[in-house]
Amino acid sequence: MPLIETVDLCQIFDKKDILKNINLKVEQGEVFALIGPTGAGKTTLLRLLNLLDTPASGKIFIDGTDTNASTKIRLAMRRRMAIVLQKPAVFNMSVYDNVACGLKWRGTETGEIHEKVTNILAMVGLNTEINRKARTLSGGETQRVAIARALAIEPELLLLDEPTANLDPTSASRVEELITGILQRFDTTIIMTTHDMSQGQRLADRIGVMVDGEILQTGSSNDVFTAPRNREVADFVGVENIIDGKITTSEDRVVTIDTGNNTIEAISEYPSETGVSACIRPEDVTVALSKQSTSARNLFNGEITRVISMGALSRVELDCGFPLVALITSRSAQELDLKKGSRVYASFKATGIHVIRKGGK
Amino acid sequence: MTELWNGFTKAIELIVSLDPEVIEIAGRSLRISLTSSLLASLICIPLGSLIYFRRFPGKRALISLIQTFYSIPTVAVGLFVFVFLSRAGPLGGLGLLFTPTAIIIGQMILITPILLGLTISAVSGVERGILDTAYSLGASNIQVAIVVLREARFAVVAAVIMGFGRALSEVGISLMVGGNIRGFTRVITTAISLETSKGDIELSLALGIILILIALVINVLLNRLQQRS
């Protein structure tokens, strides 16, 4: 049984659908990241999961229990989880008292509270600030107090809303390390939101891509990244080469896609006449100066429009009648003497192309 | 002008020499108004929070009504309490008319709107994130209300001090339902009004100065609170 499950969850604000039929299951011990652009409804969903707001329709089950059964059940269920809000609010009291609050409300004994709070403050690196007024802390420190406060109650489910969004890079990496630490030390189930695809990949077991109030795809970060279900997901996860076209022939799953002035061969189940987008990962594109014999089915002559060196790798932008980005080692870029205006041959394999149907959900 | 100056110097004498009558009247005033404002606070702070936290039809109208009653005339409250407590009134049997208790009841009614209204605005000044955080950390409704009141504590205490000031300085209620009985229900304001009409300017001035001093202390306290918050 999943730890938390939503069934057709909808939320409406000012007659606008903020969440549309969210059906989500998160298992015990899993780290699930909801990624999506700002305004996709991630925070709204997290607030509903924490039972802070009431959904317009739909249900939330925790361990199979309907959370909307009674106020008493809502409180009991809320006490099994904790949320760290994007802009955490701290109570106008000391750091210690802030972290102790949740335990006090649960009627924990003073001695036990002291032990837990001291340990957790040491873990988040705030043991020297125990008696400081929480309102005088910096943004990064406040975030750590909020995380400590949530951890103090030893939640079964920890909800993190953009835990690093408002922080400077140093504080952000510190908070991320802290989250990794929590994952190693506790068997906490985590649902986090982020608009940072790479953060989701680093921390989560499973990712859900949320756009316009809908979860468009869930899966491992690798699945979502290499095989986005539709154009919106592909755009959001940062697939660089998305080429629109129409399947003209289909034989034994090998399809020809007409992109207007070129044709691409790919592997796909879709029949002829289907409008599709071909996603090509930049690292799958090879660049050569001459028309070498290659097993790749797709070979295009193009002009380099830009070369950007990114340390060990270089990003080569080409115009092959359609824009194409290739990611190659900086060493080969140097050896080939790639620069703006050079004409090169770009090739990629049919099997490396992920074909998605246009308008598909 | 000389009369006023003489009155003023004598008044200072009365205060400095701790004149028994002055001390007795000032002490009673403080006792009655402190009691009424503390009792009213015990009712109004939880009630104000309840009004803020609960959603119910007519909430806005109720808050407007409460704010309208901020400036209710003291004589109107005095009359209302008089009617209830007079021998022929519904609570006449309690024999409370012309007792300090009657004044306390009147003052409580007088400052209830101020305390309620200012408590509501004090707690509504607490940011939404505080409420959410308290709920998310597993606070029950009562625990959330306590946290919010704690966050708004400076504004809430300021409300209580405002209420106390209004209770201490009113004259209509004390006169109408207290009766200005010497040694029993005579308070600073009723004494000033009586002594002035009798021509005893010195005692009136002495009491007036004490009243202003108390007002000054209240103001200093309020300012300090506002600076802290």
* Out of A47, A92, A153, closest to residue B138 by CB: A153
pLDDT confidence of residue A181 = 86
Q: Which amino acid is at A46?
A: L
Q: What is the ipTM of this complex?
A: 0.79
pLDDT confidence of residue A201 = 86
Q: Chain A closest CA to B136's CA: distance in Å?
A: 6
* Residues in chain A closer than 8 A to B135 (CB atoms): 52, 78
Average pLDDT, rounded, for chain A: 91
* Out of B134, B137, B151, closest to residue A153 by CB: B137
pLDDT confidence of residue A110 = 95
**Quick one: which H or E segment has residue A181?**
helix A169-185
Q: Say if residue A237's pLDDT is above 90.
A: no
Confidence of residue A165 (pLDDT cuts 50, 70, 90): confident
Contact between chains at B132 and A52 (C-beta distance less than 8 A): yes
Confidence of residue A295 (pLDDT cuts 50, 70, 90): confident
pLDDT confidence of residue B192 = 94
Q: B22: which 2 tokens?
A: 């002055």
Could you give the CA distance from residue B98 to residue B93 in angstroms, rounded to a whole number?
Answer: 13
pLDDT confidence of residue B67 = 95
In the 8-state DSSP scheme, what is residue A273? T
The interface residues of chain B toward chain A in range 100-129, judged by CB-CB distance below 8 A, are 127, 129
* Out of A89, A102, A105, closest to residue B127 by CB: A89
Q: Could you count the other beta carbons within 10 Å of the beta carbon of residue B63?
A: 18
* Out of A79, A87, A92, closest to residue B138 by CB: A79
pLDDT confidence of residue A361 = 60
pLDDT confidence of residue A51 = 94
pLDDT confidence of residue A360 = 65
Selected for mutation to probe chain B from A81, A105, A156, A191 (highest B CB count within 10 Å) is A105
Confidence of residue A11 (pLDDT cuts 50, 70, 90): very high
What domains lie within chain B, and their CATH numbers? 2-228 (1.10.3720.10)
Contact between chains at A102 and B138 (C-beta distance less than 8 A): yes
> A14: closest CA among A37, A35, A36, A44?
A44
* Out of A85, A102, A150, closest to residue B129 by CB: A85
* Residues in chain B closer than 8 A to A93 (CB atoms): 150
DSSP characters over B40-98? HHHHHHHHHHHHHH---TTHHHHHHHHHHGGG--HHHHHHHHHHHHSTTSTTGGG--TT
**Quick one: which H or E segment has residue A35?**
strand A31-35
Does domain A4-234 fall into CATH 3.40.50.300? Answer: yes
* Long-range pairs of A107-116 with CB within 8 A, sequence gap ≥ 24: A116/A152
Per-residue pLDDT tens for A59-77? 999 999 999 989 899 999 9
The segments of chain B whose pLDDT lies below 50 read none
* Residues in chain A closer than 8 A to B133 (CB atoms): 85, 88-91, 146, 149
What average pLDDT does range A98-112 have in this prediction?
95
Per-residue pLDDT tens for A323-335? 999 999 999 988 9
Q: A58: which 2 tokens?
A: 């739909």
Q: Please, how many CA atoms are within 13 Å of residue A112, restricted to the half-sphere of its CB?
A: 11
Contact between chains at A91 and B133 (C-beta distance less than 8 A): yes
Could you give the CA distance from residue B169 to residue A40 in angstroms, rounded to a whole number?
Answer: 57
* Residues in chain A closer than 8 A to B139 (CB atoms): 101, 105
pLDDT confidence of residue B183 = 93
Report the b/e string of A155-193 with b at 16+ CB within 10 A.
bbbbbbbbbbbebeeebbebbbebbeebbeeeebbbbbb
Chain B contact present for A89, CB below 8 A: yes
Q: Chain A closest CA to B165's CA: distance in Å?
A: 28
What average pLDDT does range A341-348 have in this prediction?
92
What average pLDDT does range A282-296 have in this prediction?
83
Per-residue pLDDT tens for A70-96? 989 999 999 999 999 988 999 999 999
Which fold would CATH assign to domain A239-357? OB fold (Dihydrolipoamide Acetyltransferase, E2P) (2.40.50)
pLDDT confidence of residue B130 = 94
The crossing angle, in degrees rounded to 10, of helices B201-228 and B2-16 is 70
Which carries the bigger pLDDT value, residue A287 or residue B219? A287
pLDDT confidence of residue A93 = 93
Domain boundaries defined on chain A: 4-234, 239-357
* Residues in chain A closer than 8 A to B147 (CB atoms): 91, 101
* Residues in chain B closer than 8 A to A82 (CB atoms): 136-138
pTM greater than 0.90 (yes/no): no
Report the b/e string of A288-327 with b at 16+ CB within 10 A.
eeeeeeeebbbbbebebeebeeeeebbbbbbebebebbbb
Those residues with Cβ within 8 angstroms of residue A43's Cβ, 6 or more apart along the chain or in another chain:
A86, A161, A162, A193
Chain B contact present for A135, CB below 8 A: no
Q: Chain B closest CA to A55's CA: distance in Å?
A: 16
**Quick one: which H or E segment has residue A287?**
strand A286-288
H-only helix segments in chain B: 2-16, 20-53, 59-68, 74-85, 100-124, 128-136, 141-151, 153-169, 172-173, 188-198, 201-228
Could you give the CA distance from residue A201 to residue A204 in angstroms, rounded to a whole number?
Answer: 6
Q: Region of B114 please: left (phi>0), alpha (psi -120 to 50) or beta.
A: alpha
